[in-house]
Every structure is written in structure tokens, then in C-alpha cells.
Amino acid sequence: MEVYISTDVETDGPIPGENSMLSFASAAFMPDGKLIGTFTVNLELLEGANPDKETMRNFWERFPDAWEASRTDLVHPEEAMNKYSEWLMKMKKNGKLVFVAYPLGFDFTFIYWYLVKFTGKSLFSHSGLDIKTFAMFMLNTEFRNTTKRTMPSRWFGKEDHTHQALDDAIEQGQLFFRMLKEYKERIVPLLNEA
């Protein structure tokens, strides 16, 4: 059995190490889509890292509420990642962990870097599940043309995308499970007929 760890990160730039992860959250889902746990934390900035001017201007100036939310109750990255690893170990008792994100390349890069840097290992190994790639497969579209704007509205709930890590981790987990349900109901029967 697998446990799907839908994860969202908020950062002050594009590169871990040179830039800092401001906050992140994970929502753990069982294969039937049941939410079994959440983890969220706001982090202190990395020593020696600097915010990316473009990210600050083009993103965070547009979302001041999300910025404020990410800068309260700050925890040192080492403490945060050790607590996260402990939480992941609890979730692992329910099944094998699968990291889920949109976009995977960005969120996974930060989480993987922080886990290895501050705990010495990643409980996700070297891989994760990319919701965008899954959508490309389901919609039979080109990867670059597969965006949330081109996805069917039935995959989305009424949740707002707040750019606050926990809200977004839960929202994208629910998106993934709506897609997975449709895949199992619509596409798997066709594959079984072939």
C-alpha cells in the first residue's frame, strides 16, 4: 500500500541553498483519498542565502497575505526537517511514501535538498509523482500545453489557491485524487479491454 504525500513549498527564490524555503506543508492521503495527516512549518532563512529579487518583486509583492503567513512562528531548518522526518516515519506506518507535487521538479528539489542537508537522508528516495505529467497522460496533450487552465473544471474543487503551503498541499492532493478516480473509472476499463 502507498501513502501519497502531497507537498507544497513556498520559497524566496528558485534554487535551494542560494535561496531559502520559507514554508512548506504536506498532506498525507491513503489510496482511497482519505486525508490521514498534515504537517506544516515556517522556516528561518538559510544562513548565507539571499532572497531572489525577481521572486520577491514578481511573486511575493502580489501575495502579501501569504508572505505574512509564511513569516510567523519561524523554526530553524534543522529542527523543522527533523520534525518532518519524524512525521513522515509515522505516515510510513500506513504504507510506502510517495511524494506528490505540482510542479514536482520545484517542490521536490527543495524538500530533497533540505532533508539531505539537515537530516542526512530523504525518506522519498530520489523520486516523486508529478501531477502535471499525470494530467498530460490523461488528456493526451503535449507537456508544455498541459496547465491548470487547460485541465477540466471537474478536477477542481471550490478551494482557493492561497499560496499558503498547507492550503495548497491539501488542494493539490484533492486534485490528484479526482484525477486518479477518473483514471480508474474511465481509462483503466479501456486498458483492461485491450
pLDDT per residue, tens digit, the chain (194 aa), is 999 999 999 999 999 999 999 999 999 999 999 999 999 999 999 999 999 999 999 999 999 999 999 999 999 999 999 999 999 999 999 999 999 999 999 999 999 999 999 999 999 988 899 999 999 998 999 999 988 888 888 888 876 677 789 999 999 999 999 999 988 887 766 667 65
Instruction: Enumerate the β-bridge partners of residue 26.
Output: 7, 39
| Predicted local distance difference test score (pLDDT) of residue 194 | 58
| Predicted local distance difference test score (pLDDT) of residue 10 | 97
Q: Where are the beta strands (DSSP E) in 20-134?
A: 21-29, 35-43, 74-75, 96-101, 129-130
Question: CB 121: neighbour CB atoms within 10 A?
Answer: 9
Nine-digit cell at 165? 503551503
| Predicted local distance difference test score (pLDDT) of residue 88 | 98
Q: Are 4 and 129 in contact, with CB atoms under 8 Å apart? A: yes
Task: Tell me phi and psi for residue 101, to 5 degrees.
Answer: -155, 165
Domain boundaries, the chain: 2-193
From the number of C-beta atoms within 10 Å of its C-beta (0-12, 13-18, 19+), residue 40 rates as: middle
Nine-digit cell at 15? 534554487
Return the amino acid letter for 178.
R
Determine the distance from the C-alpha atom of residue 168 to the mean position of all C-alpha atoms in its chain, rounded to a whole number. 8
Instruction: Give CA–CA dist 25/39, Å, rounded.
Output: 5
Residue carrying the nine cell digits 532533508: 115
Proportion of the chain in helix, strand, coil states, percent, rounded to 5: 50, 20, 30
Element (H, E) at 114: helix 104-119
Q: Are 25 and 168 in contact, with CB atoms under 8 Å apart? A: yes
Instruction: Give CA–CA dist 121/119, Å, rounded.
Output: 6
Q: What is the CATH architecture assignment of 2-193? A: 2-Layer Sandwich (3.30)
Nine-digit cell at 119? 537530516
